[in-house]
Amino acid sequence: MGKRPQLSLGLADTPLNHYQARGIAAQIEADLVTGNYDLTLAKYRLTDPPTPPSAAPSSTAVLFEQFTAHKRREGVSGQAIATKYNSLRSNIVRHGEDITSTEQAYQLVKMLRDRQSPKTANQNLVLLKSFGEWLVKKQHLEENVFESVRPLKNTNINVQDRTPFTKEELLLFLETMRTHPTGYQYYDFTVVLFSLGLRPSEAIGLRWCHVNFDRKEIVIRESLSRSDDGRSSGGARQRKGTKTGNVRQLPLNDRLLALFAGRKTATAKPDDLIFTTATGRPIDDRMYCRRYWRRICEEAGIPYRPPYTARHTFISYGIEYERWSPHQAASMAGHSSTRMISEVYGHMMDRPKLPDF
């Protein structure tokens, strides 16, 4: 075994520099996959020392950091902090002005609406109103300057499409991935997403100890989820239970048994992951979507829907073509009750026939 290379960026331990380091780590991982890795590491070194920001953040941005710390102590998850609170703080910093009046609050919200979808802007407005309440409580402001700002209406017009794949789309999608120059390495992983209706984190976390070839079944008891701060790279993922805490046994048909048997090597250990990247690391679901899933949709001429649509397709097909009952569908999907199935897929069950006039 050779000596493992190390790279020091010479950056201070700050949140901003953490993001820069993660970006370089993502570039290294991408270069390893594509064969462009620089063994000298010169490509990944910082050529110039990071320059400090030209101006200090506004007092509103500083106060929002304190508000974020307060919400973290209240129990808000690290992932929510990373994806919602930190994102909003970046926009407050970009705005660059202190917010002390209703008019200034409107200007900040207007900037958010110019940059974001209506749905995201409304979500940020809810967060800003909570921030305003905290400012009043801490006596930084006399009134909640965000309270009078009204949310946008009709924010569901551009909601992301999660319509299940038709049979024709599904066949075309899988065939395009199977023959894709680089996407083919994720073909088996994609087939399992559609064939077992797993959440992406459940499929990523599958190990050989979960497959029982004699009983022709697979046990879904855990996931390899994103880190608490929202990172999705292989090294950051955390092994957890399933989303609902349920354990389910799913039957494997002959095609899936052959798929798993074909992937298992003589040296495979029970705790080894079944699906990995080309470098043997856990799959990054964001990279998988961006580099492969989205491109396959484009090349196949299929309207884009996110990878989670594979799960919706699985449940929809079971209800529509296999006539699953709500209880069967909930069991296969790993839901603790039939409520979710009834709310989301109820329109597919016992469809009434229209009279023929």
Per-residue pLDDT tens over the stretch 190-220: 999 999 999 999 999 999 999 999 999 999 9
Nearest alpha-carbon partner for 64 in 44, 87, 46, 32: 87
pLDDT at 64: 94
Say if residue 317's pLDDT is above 50.
yes
- Band of the pLDDT at 164, cuts 50, 70, 90? very high
pLDDT at 50: 47
Return the axis-axis angle of helices 59-74 and 118-137, rounded to nearest 10°. Answer: 90
Identify which of 53-62, 222-231, 327-336 has the greatest average pLDDT.
327-336
Nearest alpha-carbon partner for 125 in 86, 159, 152: 152
pLDDT at 144: 95
310 vs 320, residue with greater confidence: 310
pLDDT at 99: 93
pLDDT tens digit sequence for 340-357: 888 777 767 766 667 777
- Band of the pLDDT at 275, cuts 50, 70, 90? very high
Mean pLDDT along residues 181-185: 94
Say if residue 155's pLDDT is above 70.
no
pLDDT at 344: 76
79 vs 271, residue with greater confidence: 271
Say if residue 255's pLDDT is above 70.
yes
Read off the tokens for 233: 């790279």
Domains in the chain: boundaries: 59-137, 167-348
357 vs 355: CA distance, rounded Å: 6
- DSSP codes, 90-155: HHHHHH-S---SHHHHHHHHHHHHHHS-HHHHHHHHHHHHHHHHHHHHTTS-SS-TTTTPPPPS-T
pLDDT at 53: 46
Give the predicted TM-score (pTM) of the model. 0.62
129 vs 230: CA distance, rounded Å: 24
74 vs 64: CA distance, rounded Å: 15
Read off the tokens for 237: 């993922």
Nearest alpha-carbon partner for 86 in 230, 236, 226, 289: 230
Say if residue 291's pLDDT is above 90.
yes
Mean pLDDT lowest for which of 75-89, 156-170, 307-321? 156-170
Three-state DSSP class for 77? Answer: coil
Which residues are bridge partners to 211 per DSSP? 218
- DSSP codes, 151-204: PPS-TTTTPPP-PPPPHHHHHHHHHHHHTSTTGGGGHHHHHHHHHH---HHHHH
Nearest alpha-carbon partner for 37 in 47, 25, 46, 49: 25
DSSP H or E segment with residue 211: strand 211-212
237 vs 277: CA distance, rounded Å: 14
- Band of the pLDDT at 256, cuts 50, 70, 90? very high
pLDDT tens digit sequence for 8-47: 766 666 655 665 676 677 677 767 766 667 777 776 666 5
For a pLDDT cut of 90, what percent of the chain falls above it? 56
Q: Which CATH class is domain 167-348?
A: mainly alpha
Say if residue 55's pLDDT is above 60.
no
- Band of the pLDDT at 1, cuts 50, 70, 90? very low
Say if residue 287's pLDDT is above 80.
yes
Burial 154-180 (b: 16+ CB within 10 A, else e): eeeeeeeeeebbeeebbebbbebbeeb
Which residues are bridge partners to 112 per DSSP? none
Q: Is the alpha carbon torsion for 257, 263, 267, 273 positive or negative?
A: negative
Nearest alpha-carbon partner for 293 in 200, 229, 154: 200
In 226-356, the DSSP E strands lie at 238-241, 248-251
Mean pLDDT lowest for which of 90-104, 124-138, 226-240, 246-260? 226-240
Q: Residue 327 CB: number of other CB atoms within 10 A?
A: 12
Supply angle C-alpha 337, 342, 343, rounded to 5. 110
Read off the tokens for 326: 């709500």
55 vs 239, residue with greater confidence: 239
- Band of the pLDDT at 158, cuts 50, 70, 90? very low
36 vs 261: CA distance, rounded Å: 32
pLDDT at 157: 45
Say if residue 94's pLDDT is above 50.
yes
Mean pLDDT estimate for the chain = 85
